[in-house]
Chain A
Amino acid sequence: MKNLKYCCFPKTVEEAVKLLNDKKHKSIAVAGGTLIAKSIGDLIEQYVDIRYLPLKDIKVSGGDLIIGALCAFDEIDDNPLAKKWASGVLSKAASKCSSQLVRNMATIGGNIAKPHSFNIFPALLCALNAKVKVAFLKGTEIYPMEDIYNTDFPHKLGSNSIITEIIIPAYIKKCAANYEKFAKTQACWESYASCAFSLSLIKGKVEKPRVFVGSLSPKPIRLEAAEGIVSNQKLSSEIIEEAMEAFIGNLDILKLSTVNIGFKKEVASIMFKRFLLSVLEGKI
């Protein structure tokens, strides 16, 4: 931070993106700042404070739920629309992030643009099959949420482009979904394991299941083998046990090197089992 020369307060997304692409100065976008403020290196010469951009709406458009990237966690937690979607999982997850003071500052855009194992929204939004709208110098484009964590993703979020909107598809509104985090305390940002799930129940059969694990790697992990077991099936105790085994097997293949991985995998699989049981029992 000691080489910081400029701090800009753009009023439009276009201005912000232009500033980020200014070749003269190494720039970084800052919004809530909770993830990056303490770790901004000395190379940065220009802050682009995007906090005042008009990206704070939560609305329904064409049936989809649109969340402005600058919505803070507390705004999502309190939002009536967010509470209505997918069993209120967005609000529930937002309320599980760290402490209220952090929730007042941290934004959903920042949470997904700067992936970290303990971030809540990467795994959840992947589970909700969300898309993100990214603004860059030549315009805007919409990408599936999972793509932004691929190594070939064409933009550097926060450095030459910014996320403007998160789009949650209309079908998710009626889905059963859940987000669970296992941590030392509820206000603890760090967690041992976290999971996000969603599925549709059509005539008693599971459709479009999406199972993601967080905390075990900086990027959310999709467990397709576990999804495959429950897909197009009527849930039963046997199917749930089988899905749990597939869930652990799926994680085993990934050879994750986190500390106490065996314990964490077990915790995550129990979260998955509980989710499926609550769907079976009609609790979600």
Chain B
Amino acid sequence: MKNMNILKSEDGLFEIALKINGENKKFKVKNNEFLLDALRRYGYKGAKKGCDSGDCGSCAIMFNGKPVLSCMMPAVTAHGGEIVTIEGIGTIEKPHAIQEAYVEAGAVQCGFCTPGMIIVTKHLLEKKPSPSDEDIKKELDGNLCRCTGYVSQIKAVRIAAKKMKKKGKK
């Protein structure tokens, strides 16, 4: 077991190393902390704390290539992983095609659920560049929105698929 990675906490804190939005980072996380809280504490506030029980999807981030619920992941277990948050997808100055599509479709109202929706949409379009409505509904079934009624998000994903095909963008 010589080469195995074992993290030891000191005064209730673990030091974890991870890649976040393409940058190598070291975080100090509490032994009872979840990844969502650690990310927000370090300034990645795009992921939102909605239900804190894995039901609403507003905390979704990409972990090792898959959208996951960061409120359900003990922070220490993110050690060695690769994370993409909404901050790593696009900026106000240079939005991603999916973000543009969400604005065009009017799929953003209060905006609380939007980062999670965009993370999930990105993963869907990477897997299936031309998803059916059923595919979209299935992929977004864990992202709750209290404002829009979901029709506009489905439309947004359709627009995003077209935009991304046009731009040949990932």
Contacts and interface: CB of A to CB of B under 8 A. Distances in A.
B5 interface: yes
B79 A9 contact: yes
Contacts of B133: none
B110 interface: no
25 contacts: A2-B32, A3-B31, A5-B8, A5-B9, A5-B31, A6-B7, A7-B6, A7-B74, A7-B79, A9-B79, A10-B1, A34-B69, A37-B34, A37-B72, A38-B54, A72-B66, A95-B138, A99-B57, A99-B142, A100-B142, A101-B68, A101-B69, A104-B68, A105-B72, A187-B141
A47 B53 CA distance: 20
Nearest to B124: A100
Interface string B1-33: 101111111001010000000000000000110
Given A9-B6, A37-B72, A99-B141, 4 more contacts: A15-B4, A101-B54, A101-B67, A105-B66
CB-based closest 7 A-B pairs: A99-B142, A101-B142, A1-B32, A4-B31, A9-B5, A187-B141, A7-B76
Contact of A33 (B6, B32, B72, B140): B72
B142 A102 contact: yes
Interface of B: 1, 3-9, 12, 14, 31-32, 34, 53-55, 57, 60, 66-69, 72-74, 76-77, 79-80, 120, 138-143
Most chain A beta-carbon neighbours within 10 Å: one of B14, B69, B74, B143: B74
A23 to B, nearest CB: 15
Contacts of B139: 100
Contact of A51 (B4, B77, B142): B77
Contact of A105 (B1, B69, B74): B69
A277 interface: no
B77 A47 contact: yes
Interface string A2-34: 111111111100010011000000000010011
B142 A47 contact: no
A198 interface: no
Contact of A102 (B1, B34, B54): B54
Interface string A62-103: 000000000010100000000000000000000100111110
Contacts of A95: 138
Contact of B143 (A3, A4, A101): A101
Interface string A167-195: 00000000000000000001100000000
Given A8-B5, A11-B3, A15-B4, A38 B76 contact: no
A207 interface: no
Contact of B73 (A37, A102, A187): A37
Nearest to A99: B142
A49 interface: yes
A114 to B, nearest CB: 14
Contacts of B141: 99-100, 186-187
B69 A102 contact: yes
A187 B138 CA distance: 9
Contacts of A15: 1, 4
Contacts of A104: 66-68
Contacts of B3: 11
A1 B31 contact: yes
Contact of B6 (A2, A8, A18): A8
B133 to A, nearest CB: 15
Nearest to A98: B142
Interface string A111-141: 0000000000000000000000000000000
A17 B74 CA distance: 21
Nearest to A78: B127
Contacts of B69: 34, 101-102, 105
Given A8-B4, A10-B4, A37-B74, A100 B138 contact: yes
